[in-house]
Amino acid sequence: MGARKQVDAPPAEFAEAVSQLRGARFRPEVFVEEMPAPQRIAPHAAAVSADVTVDGDDVATGRLVILYDPAGNDAWQSTFRCVAYVRAAVEPEMVTDALLGGVGWTWLMEALADRGADFLAPSGTVTRVVSESFGGMADDEATAEIEIRASWSPVPGPGGLVDVTKHAEAWGEVLCTAAGLPPVPPGVVAMPTRRGQRGR
60 membership: H or E segment, kind and range:
strand 57-73
pLDDT (tens digit, 9 = 90+) per residue, 116-155? 999 999 999 999 887 776 777 767 776 788 899 999 999 9
pLDDT over 70 at 162, yes or no: yes
For the whole model, what pTM was predicted? 0.84
pLDDT (tens digit, 9 = 90+) per residue, 96-105? 667 778 889 9
pLDDT of residue 184: 67
In 3D space, the residue among 79, 90, 94, 38 whose CA is nearest the CA of residue 162 turns out to be: 79
How many Cα atoms sit within 13 Å of 102 on the Cβ side?
A: 3
Distance CA 130, CA 199 (A): 32
Helices (H), ranges, the chain: 2-8, 12-23, 100-114, 164-178
**How much is the average pLDDT of 65-85?**
95
**How much is the average pLDDT of 27-44?**
93
Distance CA 19, CA 3 (A): 23
Q: Which residue has the higher pLDDT, 76 or 142?
A: 76
Distance CA 124, CA 102 (A): 11
Distance CA 37, CA 104 (A): 25
Percent of the chain with pLDDT over 90: 58
- Residue 19, sorted as left (phi over 0), alpha (psi -120 to 50) or beta, turns out to be alpha
In 3D space, the residue among 87, 85, 30 whose CA is nearest the CA of residue 54 turns out to be: 30
pLDDT of residue 2: 43
Q: Which residue has the higher pLDDT, 133 or 27?
A: 27
**How much is the average pLDDT of 7-13?**
75
Distance CA 43, CA 62 (A): 23
pLDDT over 80 at 198, yes or no: no
Distance CA 167, CA 171 (A): 6
pLDDT of residue 39: 86
Instruction: Look at 13-17, 48-52, 55-59 and tell me which has the smallest mean pLDDT.
Output: 55-59
126 membership: H or E segment, kind and range:
strand 119-131
pLDDT over 90 at 166, yes or no: yes
pLDDT of residue 133: 65
**DSSP per position, 151-162:** EEEEPP-GGG--
